[in-house]
Amino acid sequence: MDARSVFGKNAYYCDEGAELKEISRLLNCGLHQMGLGVILLDPDRKCVYANRHAFSMFHSEEDLEVLYGAFSGWMSSQGIEPSTGSWCRLYENRGKKRLFKVRYRVLVDDFNKGLGYMYTIQNLSDIVENDTGEQYRMTHDELTGLYNREGFCAAAQSALRDSEKTYLLLYSNIKDFKLFNQLFGLDKGNDILINIGEMMIQHVKEEDIYGRINGDHFVLCMPKERFNEKNFKKIVREITGKVTSKSYSLHIQIGIYEITDPCMDITLMCDRAYMACKSIKKDGVCEIAWYSDEMLVNALLEKEILSSFDFAIINRQFGIYIQPQVFADGKVFAVEALARWLHPENGLIQPGVFIDVLERADLIYKLDRYIWELAARQVADWKGTEFEDISISVNVSPKDLYYLDIKKEFTELIEKYDIDPKSLNIEITETAVTSDVNKCAKLILELQSRGFLVEIDDFGSGYSSLNMLKDINADVLKIDMGFLRKTENQKRAQVILNYTIDMAHELGMNVITEGVETVDQLDFLTGMGCTMFQGFYFDRPMPVELFEKKYKNK
């Protein structure tokens, strides 16, 4: 029987005339000379093969059942699950301690059908015999076998101290890896981390120091002279290509810190490289950012914002500015409430400084809920005045949908302040809607049934805008003039904008055009059938007191 008839496609490089016995003998010899113990199990987890190294490692007689019994018994005594991807433990037998590093693999054929399982066992006894076994476990990551944080920092500090070269520290992050673990399980996530670790070993040079220091974060310290960003991205794409599947695409972000002071604490270098990593906004397969001192300033600012946020909420340091929404003649029919931080020492802090920070920290829902209440209170204050017909729009952030019961929050507000729900309009961003169309469609209908008007904000900012409209029955569509400013092909953009406005009207939705800054834009939009506007051409956001003074008797 020839090898190809048995191994099929997996024997692509086999001699077609080679006998199965000859190939088996060569494979067995090769596995022995690799210096690894190999144990193979069939789909029912019965041991069907072990090489000589495996038998010698466990001092087992040449009986597969006895060998696998010794191996699985040791694994069980260490609290290791049979499907754990990689682990490292001491094995004691006949008065001797040996440090074995074990890797586990599920074997599948070309059609992804399970063939069985494989354990490979590396003998690290020389480390134990040199009284460094405990040190090895303290400095190496159990899953990947690479340096852990402690091991990497020590090795990198030593290398930098002994070299005159300029080094770079690269810090990687797998985008949304926590979400992957939730969707596919920790075992699948660990497989990806193990694969990345193994592929790092294949591409690094002897003078490089590398490790896995936390979760999905890997680090690499290498000479600057050898770093080529284009080639490095190519290697990363090769790595991601090998672990990317139909259901998941790997996106790796890499922050780089150029080491100017070799004596600096390695953890501080890692922090700076990580700052660069966090600054990445793009969503490519491999994105790279270099550290700058501005990032450190921003990181300190972010820390200050987060540390003082709760205090600021309790002490009512946040307030609302309102921006008029008007008809073409300038008559105000509504306003949008926008958050401002009225800091007692630093003065007025613009939302661009703190909104993104709060969103990343999952705290934005606390601020939004506070602003909603300020807006509802303002609606109540306007009852019986000349401003009582002016509604106030408030923003709902994407994460609010997960942290808050939106219907309950707004229902309680109108009851608490005894206001008409049509006076408190709810703006939901297109991003929030497209993240879960069915959930938002149901929420919008529930809000409308309670009398609220619902607006879709930032329409056109995503790629699913038109598809979304078939399921979402909102009252108002808000389109930003940035839609035109962000493209070089103005004519095509104008055609799309024109049809979008007509389509919204056909679907029974009003349209508010935001970002109107010039009279030419106003004339252009009016010609398209727009009747409601918001933007600097009419007025900027302002304190409530200034708005009341400016628009009184108008």
Tens of pLDDT, residue by residue over 149-193, are: 999 999 999 999 888 899 999 999 988 788 777 777 888 888 888
As given in the structure block, the two tokens for residue 29 are 């010899």
Looking at residue 10, its pLDDT comes to 45
* Residue type at 515 in one-letter notation: G
As given in the structure block, the two tokens for residue 265 are 């604490």
The CATH architecture of the domain made up of 34-136 is 2-Layer Sandwich (3.30)
Looking at residue 543, its pLDDT comes to 95
**Domain residue extents for the chain:** 34-136, 141-291, 318-551
* Residue type at 59 in one-letter notation: H
Looking at residue 150, its pLDDT comes to 93
The closest of 410, 411, 407, 413 to 380, measured between CA atoms, is 413
Contact 115, 43 (CB under 8 A): yes
Fold of 141-291: Alpha-Beta Plaits (3.30.70)
* pTM score: 0.59
Contact 193, 212 (CB under 8 A): yes
Looking at residue 415, its pLDDT comes to 96
Looking at residue 194, its pLDDT comes to 83
* Rounded-to-integer distance, Cα 504 and Cα 181, Å: 40
Given this structure, which CATH class describes domain 318-551? Answer: alpha beta
Please list the ranges in the chain whose pLDDT falls under 70: 1-21, 23-24, 28, 30-34, 125-133, 242-248, 460-467, 483-490, 554
Bridge partner list, 512: 478, 532
* Residue type at 210 in one-letter notation: Y
Whether the domain at 34-136 and the domain at 141-291 fall into the same CATH topology: no
Collapse the DSSP code of 222 into the 3-class scheme (helix H, G, I; strand E, B; otherwise coil) and give the result.
Answer: strand
Looking at residue 411, its pLDDT comes to 96
Burial of 554 (0-12, 13-18, 19+ CB in 10 A): exposed
- DSSP character string of 252-305: EEEEEEE-S-TTS-HHHHHHHHHHHHHT-----SEEEEE--HHHHHHHHHHHHH
